[in-house]
Structure 1
């Protein structure tokens, strides 16, 4: 996926990064030792083969001069913290961090190396799998997501703080940041921004039911799951993690919006039964948050086509209708 947030670097800079991370004796020579992994949407990722044959993945954050959405600022630091939390408190397979550099000395962004995982991306191979095999993987994703959500926090909000004891305040603030991002760049939602704010306020009472902060991935799409031999080999891309309500996880989105797929295998693996009336309202608010981002980020990423924008605008209309505001 092409995006202006992808921070491509020259081969000389990549060699300098390898030297800093692994030492001069492992710096590759010749040609063909670096290739771009192209399916990501935000960071640039390279597959790097070192001189001794070891294969690594290098992730580089967006260029410092490219404006990103409020919730994406400092995303690589969030990922490093999330990897530490998940790796130290669960059995969920996540990448080991070989080396991280946040000095901005070799390029204008944070970057880190991790081992290359020789496995298939579920987002790529999933559509071609037999239905039963795909469902089995999605059950495993649900179980892994539940284990991640078992990690408790001391407050709602960013991993590094500041936190808040009120999930209502935190979540409404998160949505307000997204709306402010859209207004700043003049993104057309097809309805007034204040109408979205009114809908959020009308249903915000449902958020008060959430009392215990849990680590949430929020971004655990099939495309962030690597699979091999019938099992999850690795869960990648943790830069959007925070402490919140587990029901905000994207695996539950299909309970309200059919476009996000059948959530049944995920929920079965998670151990989640039917949602209560209040949980349904919360999940609709979380769908609202998600599709607002999917609409607004198209401008920040500089996508050349309108396919995602058009699709996300349609989903926004559907979720607004579910929340009692059909039409514009």
Structure 2
């Protein structure tokens, strides 16, 4: 194995700025029923291997029409197909991806949707075999079975190709502690969690920042990869948004007019962060420089003395504090 380090620009600020993806990483999307996980980020600089499990005829037709002009390698398992086929499909897709990546030296993006349907098929087959069930009826080998699929992504020494994997995991009842997202989080290198609350506000993409993370982000950003201030800006954005959410909760109890001036600035920051940084057009492709510049515009709503995660040089160069209300 070779360690993944090469930054991938997806064009989505919530990912590029705060949960950066690197080539060869496994970064799942944790979604809820009805959330737009199938619309997130198509990366044109990859050969795409797309595997859809347990989908309806309408969804299968949509994927087919959407991908047929883009040269996507597509595997489809319909909802009424036998469950054993659903267990074979992701392994078949990964075999195709390994051939493209390690025999043809191509960069491959594998999208597996939806791994929850895969795990339910595994539970159905395991029950029919008489295997001993564990949490919520899933077999005890669910972890190792998922790992057999996820761990086939990555980079190999002396090979120019790579496999980057984005599995989609629906959280039953929006429960992130459910066995499927829980075990997926242990095996993969982070997660992008979608928010029903943000989706109900018509914000796209509705990425829930506090529980989202990319464990390999630190290895793919910085001076030689994105921009020198990127690691510090990401830390500062996360800290400021977490503080702003606390202030928003307090304002819902006592009212915003009772808050001190600085807390009202945090409320302004939270609204701007969601409307200008997180939200973007479905076809909008932002560069990492645009993403970082938007971040500094938002951080400039706050005084420099509360921005402890960035350096004095960063503040002098990028921070434009305006003390007017």
- The alignment's TM-score, normalised by the length of structure 1, stands at 0.26
- The alignment's TM-score, normalised by the length of structure 2, stands at 0.26
Larger radius of gyration: 2
